[in-house]
Amino acid sequence: MKFAIVNGPNLNLLGKREPGVYGNQSFESYLNNLRKTYPGHKIIYFQSNVEGELINYLHEVGFDVDGIVINPGGYSHTSVSIADAIAAIDAPVVEVHISNIYARENYRHQSLTGAKAKAVISGAGMHGYKLALQHLIEST
């Protein structure tokens, strides 16, 4: 099976940005561990700080992969366009948030993109990506 992991704005700074909230491991390091955990599956990765690039990538892979794990970052709370892109593609999508969005500022409590996802995992740290992949593997 083939899965895409898509990370949105500021997630290129994982391991450096607010380690008390997001931890001190880079996503690239975590991704290597995920690939070792699921050697029978192909895991592709894309990160962008630009909303339109995220939408274009969802359109590009959303009809060819078996599932998508997305962390839209702050766009979760603001992007109708990313939510529409998730709704438009065939691949099931699981949204991941490293921090618990419900324990943060009020404006983070609503996820426009999560409303279009098959499932949302929030507050499990980087482990949320593994949980999302496992969910996709078991339900696809």
Q: In whole angstroms, how far apart are CA 67 and each of 44, 102, 137?
A: 11, 25, 8
Weakest-pLDDT range from 7-11, 20-24, 35-39, 40-44: 20-24
Total number of domains constituting the chain: 1
pLDDT at 20: 77
For residue 112, give the nearest of 73, 77, 72 by alpha carbon.
77
For residue 96, give the nearest of 77, 124, 62 by alpha carbon.
124
Q: Is the pLDDT of residue 78 over 80?
A: yes
Weakest-pLDDT range from 22-31, 88-97, 98-107: 98-107
Q: Is the pLDDT of residue 42 over 90?
A: yes
CB 85 within 8 A of CB 70: no
Annotated binding-site residues read 71, 77, 84, 98-99, 108
Q: Predicted confidence band at 92 (pLDDT cuts at 50, 70, 90)?
A: very high
Annotated binding-site residues for substrate read 71, 77, 84, 98-99, 108
Q: Rounded to whole angstroms, how far apart are CA atoms 96 and 128?
A: 6
Q: Which residues carry out catalysis?
A: 22, 97
Report residue 45 as tokens.
């990765």
Q: Predicted confidence band at 120 (pLDDT cuts at 50, 70, 90)?
A: very high
The CATH number assigned to the domain holding 74 equals 3.40.50.9100
Q: Rounded to whole angstroms, how far apart are CA atoms 140 and 137?
A: 6
Strand, coil or helix: 92: coil
CB 123 within 8 A of CB 103: yes
Q: Is the pLDDT of residue 104 over 80?
A: no
Strand, coil or helix: 120: strand
Domain with 44, as residue range(s), is: 2-139
- Higher-confidence position of 107 and 33: 33
